[in-house]
Amino acid sequence: MADWRDYDSTDTVRFHALRLKEVGLLSASPDRVIAEGTDWRFLNEIKRELEN
């Protein structure tokens, strides 16, 4: 199993938002979901701490 730090968070959210939009559970575009519904500060801080 790949390490979670190897995945790009934005691409993961975009992938799942596209799947939800395809089945009609989401009406917003994936880019809008990323722009308005994500806050990467916490994840970026964790990654920074784990690099040390």
Are 37 and 20 within 8 A, CB to CB? Answer: no
Instruction: Summarize pLDDT for 13-30 with one digit per residue, the tens.
Output: 999 999 999 999 999 999
**Gap between the Cα atoms of 26 and 17, Å rounded:** 7
pLDDT score, position 28 = 93
Are 40 and 15 within 8 A, CB to CB? Answer: no
Instruction: Summarize pLDDT for 30-47 with one digit per residue, the tens.
Output: 999 999 998 889 888 988
